[in-house]
């Protein structure tokens, strides 16, 4: 950089020239402490004459900018400026400002008031290639996009007046033979011609057509009050039997950001009008249809297939009536309205054959560093649904009817009714689809459900209990196979069952082995016939604890229990007390059962009482006497009668001496008189 000249101190003026020879604009900004060197750079060559006098400065010269880069993006062509202007207290007068990029030549003249004052400029562009304009616009993230190539002709004659922040324009801009291409597109987007008529009141473009492959789109628009704070748009678009893929291609070609992440195929007919304030939302109207469409949206994990639907446009939404289609393995019929595309808000009334919640789950992908593109937002919506089958891991609900709400990746079904394994379910369900696997929070009531199928689908207790179950549950768990669901389960379940069986365990046999039932031969079946079963389970990480388990055994037994049931590995630890009725007790041997230290005792009603501990896997549990509880029960029996206390010691000695161990049960039950030798 070289400055030559002579001047008079104290405002007497200066005459000279400034010469740049491949000077770096970024280095110059850094040296002068102006601008942002990392935003703008170029290699500048040129000469400017400088004349100053009485506070006014006149500049005349030229400047060639090579390797122009804005925010790291290259223009890809040299830019030349030729200028003659004066600036001072009255503002700036541009006698001539010529801009040339390749074959494009533009000239600006006029005045600009001081300190950002009003403009009065005239800009002219002769018939020139639009390619360079597209290049220049792309540097400022405007125009047609970085991966797009643009060809065509442009001419403009425009007057610019008013405040710099909201200028008014008047004149015309004519474009012709516009061709927009992208390597990813099957065919270019063409616009034979378009004329923009500019005035301080409005910007108009009428009767233009856009072509892409076999698709023809017609349109017109008027942008009014654009110099104010609340511009208004009136626009219309029409297409008949158009390709959805080619319509999306047109939108991307003209920089519609909401279409950048959408892909689709199908046939679309449109007749749409939009009117209203641009910033506060347009009111849309019109109709259309769609057939055999497949749409990929960032918010959906799989393509949305629409076999047929009629379209209605109103306010800020698009509504599909009489829609039939699918999403993944789910087929649907009904109505669907969508507000927005990158973050769709959906209102629906659908009948769906089946839904697999795993297919609805999505994971957001963070933006790549430096791209500035946010991760896709998830779909949200409300509505009424009927689902033939709702599948979540190994759990199956049928004939589901629910009011649903999907927001922030959480699906809420409330109220919810369904058929489940031959019975009925009512209540509510919240499914968090964001984590993998999905998380469930359930408040339900089951009535007359097949217990084995329900427990097999939600826990590892498979083939353990048969019968019909009713239950009330407030639980949370993660989806997956039955073992995974059981491990993650927590909450509270209160259930009741009628007649059924406990498979793999014959409680009467097991109790009879250590109780020495003399009058009853062992049963061959390895199962327990029951008349009823009920309990309240507090579940934590798949382990249920109970204090009120009650089992009514066929044949006259009633078992009560407390302890733990592991829903994952089927292991149990239960402390039980079984009471058999008098008739059963007599068949089992009555006072003749047992040995010296018998594991059972008879109460005053003639009922047989047996405390036991059940441990191990339910498929092959171990049943042992509960010695601690047995001692407590015998002590209670003894202390009922003072005579029994006095006779107990003598009776025990007599029983041992005579070798009649059966007499011990009489002594400990308080039925043998004291004082007998």
- pLDDT tens-digit readout, 120-133: 999 999 888 887 77
- Residue 596, pLDDT > 50, answer no
CB-based burial of residue 68 (10 Å sphere; 0-12 exposed, 13-18 middle, 19+ buried)? buried
As beta bridge partners, residue 294 has 265, 305
Report whether 153 contacts 194 (CB < 8 A).
Answer: no
Structure confidence at residue 667 (pLDDT): 43
Q: Is 246 helix (H, G, I), strand (E, B) or coil?
A: helix
Report whether 475 contacts 490 (CB < 8 A).
Answer: yes
662 confidence band (pLDDT: 50, 70, 90): very low
Please tell me whether the overall predicted TM-score, pTM, comes out greater than 0.75 for this model.
no
Mean pLDDT of the chain: 82
Report whether 405 contacts 371 (CB < 8 A).
Answer: no
Structure confidence at residue 141 (pLDDT): 60
445 confidence band (pLDDT: 50, 70, 90): very high
| Higher-pLDDT residue of 269, 657 | 269
- Residue 53, pLDDT > 80, answer yes
d(CA 432, CA 413) in angstroms, rounded, equals 11
Give the residue ranges of DSSP H helices in 401-450.
none
CA triple 126-127-128, angle to 5 deg: 100
- Residue 19, pLDDT > 90, answer yes
517 confidence band (pLDDT: 50, 70, 90): low
Q: By mean pLDDT, which of 167-171, 431-435, 644-648 is the weakest?
A: 644-648
d(CA 307, CA 267) in angstroms, rounded, equals 10
Backbone angles phi, psi at 316, to 5 degrees: -110, 20
- Residue 143, pLDDT > 70, answer no
669 confidence band (pLDDT: 50, 70, 90): very low
For the segment 237-289, what is each residue's pLDDT rounded down to a tens digit? 999 999 998 888 888 777 665 666 788 999 999 999 988 887 776 777 899 99
Token pair of 383 as six digits: 């509505």
- Residue 81, pLDDT > 80, answer yes
657 confidence band (pLDDT: 50, 70, 90): very low
- Write down the domain spans for the chain: 639-677
- Residue 159, pLDDT > 90, answer yes
H or E segment at 442? strand 439-450
CA distances from 559 to 517, 607, 613 (A): 17, 13, 12
As beta bridge partners, residue 677 has none
532 confidence band (pLDDT: 50, 70, 90): very high
| Higher-pLDDT residue of 307, 54 | 307
CA quadruple 76, 82, 83, 84: dihedral, nearest 10: 180
- Residue 642, pLDDT > 50, answer no
ω before 324 within 30° of 0 (cis)? no
* Residue 593 DSSP one-character state: -
Q: Is 227 helix (H, G, I), strand (E, B) or coil?
A: coil
Structure confidence at residue 671 (pLDDT): 44
Give me the percent of the chain exceeding a pLDDT of 70: 83
14 confidence band (pLDDT: 50, 70, 90): very high
206 confidence band (pLDDT: 50, 70, 90): confident
591 confidence band (pLDDT: 50, 70, 90): low
- Residue 644, pLDDT > 50, answer no
- Residue 560, pLDDT > 80, answer yes
Q: By mean pLDDT, which of 43-47, 338-342, 542-546 is the weakest?
A: 338-342
| Higher-pLDDT residue of 625, 674 | 625
d(CA 153, CA 176) in angstroms, rounded, equals 5
As beta bridge partners, residue 277 has 232
Burial 182-191 (b: 16+ CB within 10 A, else e): beebeebbbb
Report whether 291 contacts 308 (CB < 8 A).
Answer: yes
86 confidence band (pLDDT: 50, 70, 90): very high
| Higher-pLDDT residue of 103, 417 | 417
Give the residue ranges of DSSP H helices in 467-506.
482-487
Structure confidence at residue 138 (pLDDT): 67
CB-based burial of residue 620 (10 Å sphere; 0-12 exposed, 13-18 middle, 19+ buried)? exposed
Average the pLDDT over 663-673 and give the result: 44
Phi-psi region of 28 (alpha: psi -120 to 50; beta: other; left: phi over 0): alpha
Structure confidence at residue 142 (pLDDT): 57
| Number of neighbouring beta carbons within 10 Å of residue 334 | 18
For the segment 388-401, what is each residue's pLDDT rounded down to a tens digit? 998 877 788 899 99
Question: 192: closest CA among 162, 159, 217?
Answer: 217
H or E segment at 548? strand 543-553
Q: By mean pLDDT, which of 187-191, 313-317, 616-620 is the weakest?
A: 313-317
365 confidence band (pLDDT: 50, 70, 90): very low
Token pair of 207 as six digits: 């009767």
- Residue 375, pLDDT > 80, answer no
């Amino acid at each position: 950089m070289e400055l030559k000249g002579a001047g008079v101190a104290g405002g007497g003026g200066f005459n000279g020239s400034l010469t740049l020879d491949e000077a770096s604009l970024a280095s110059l900004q850094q040296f002068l402490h102006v601008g942002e060197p990392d935003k703008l750079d170029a290699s500048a060559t040129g000469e400017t004459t400088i004349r100053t006098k009485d506070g006014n400065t006149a500049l005349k010269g030229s400047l060639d900018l090579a390797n122009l880069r804005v925010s790291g993006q290259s223009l890809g062509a040299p830019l030349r400026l030729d200028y003659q202007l004066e600036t001072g207290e009255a503002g700036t007068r541009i006698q001539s400002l010529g801009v040339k990029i390749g074959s494009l030549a533009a000239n600006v003249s006029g005045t600009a008031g001081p300190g950002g004052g009003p403009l009065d400029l005239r800009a002219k562009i002769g018939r020139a290639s639009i390619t360079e304009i597209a290049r220049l616009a792309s540097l400022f993230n405007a125009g047609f996009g970085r991966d797009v190539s643009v060809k065509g002709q442009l001419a403009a004659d425009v007057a610019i007046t008013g405040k710099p922040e909201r200028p008014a324009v008047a004149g015309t801009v004519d474009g012709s033979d516009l061709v927009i291409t992208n390597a990813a597109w099957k065919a270019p987007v063409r616009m034979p011609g378009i004329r923009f008529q500019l005035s301080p009141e409005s910007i108009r473009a009428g009767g233009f057509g856009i072509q892409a492959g076999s698709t023809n789109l017609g349109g017109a628009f008027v942008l009014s009050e654009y110099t104010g704070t609340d511009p208004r748009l009136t626009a219309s678009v029409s297409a008949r039997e158009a390709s959805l893929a080619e319509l999306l291609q047109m939108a991307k070609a003209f920089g519609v950001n909401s279409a950048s992440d959408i892909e689709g195929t199908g046939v679309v007919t449109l007749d749409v009008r939009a009117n209203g304030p641009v910033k506060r939302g347009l009111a849309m109207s019109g109709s259309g249809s769609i057939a055999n469409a497949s749409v990929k949206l960032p918010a959906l994990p799989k393509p949305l297939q629409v076999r047929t639907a009629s379209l209605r446009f109103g306010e800020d939404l698009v509504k599909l009536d009489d829609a039939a289609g699918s999403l993944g393995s789910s087929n649907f019929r009904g109505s669907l309205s969508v507000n927005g595309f990158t973050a769709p808000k959906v209102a629906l009334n659908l009948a769906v054959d089946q839904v697999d919640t795993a297919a609805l789950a999505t994971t957001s992908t963070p933006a790549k560093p430096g791209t500035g593109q946010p991760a896709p937002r998830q779909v949200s919506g409300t509505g009424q649904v009927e689902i033939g089958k709702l599948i979540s891991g190994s759990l199956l609900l049928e004939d589901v009817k629910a009011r649903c709400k999907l927001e922030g990746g959480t699906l809420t079904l409330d109220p919810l009714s369904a058929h489940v394994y031959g019975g009925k379910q009512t209540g509510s369900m919240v499914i968090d689809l964001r984590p993998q696997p999905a998380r469930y929070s359930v408040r339900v009531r089951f009535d007359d459900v097949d217990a084995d199928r329900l427990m097999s689908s939600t826990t590892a207790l498979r083939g353990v209990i048969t019968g019909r179950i009713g239950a009330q549950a407030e639980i949370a768990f993660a989806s997956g196979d039955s073992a995974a669901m059981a491990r993650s389960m927590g909450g509270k379940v209160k259930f009741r069952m009628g007649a059924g069986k406990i498979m793999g365990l014959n409680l009467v046999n097991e109790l009879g082995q250590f109780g020495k039932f003399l009058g009853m031969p062992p049963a061959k079946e390895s199962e327990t016939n029951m008349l009823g079963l009920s309990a309240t389970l507090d579940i934590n990480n798949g382990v249920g604890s109970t204090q009120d388990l009650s089992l009514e055994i066929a044949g006259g037994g009633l078992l009560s229990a407390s302890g733990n049931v592991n829903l994952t590995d089927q292991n149990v630890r239960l402390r039980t007390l079984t009471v058999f009725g008098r008739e059963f007790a007599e068949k089992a041997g009555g006072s003749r059962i047992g040995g010296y230290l018998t594991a059972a005792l008879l109460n005053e009603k003639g009922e047989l009482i047996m405390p036991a501990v059940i441990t191990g896997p339910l498929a092959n549990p171990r049943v042992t006497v509960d010695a601690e509880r047995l001692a407590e029960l015998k002590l209670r029996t003894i202390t009922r009668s003072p005579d029994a206390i006095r006779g107990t010691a003598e009776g025990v000695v007599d029983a041992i001496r005579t070798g009649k161990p059966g007499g011990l049960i009489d002594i400990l039950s308080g039925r043998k008189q004291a004082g007998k030798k």
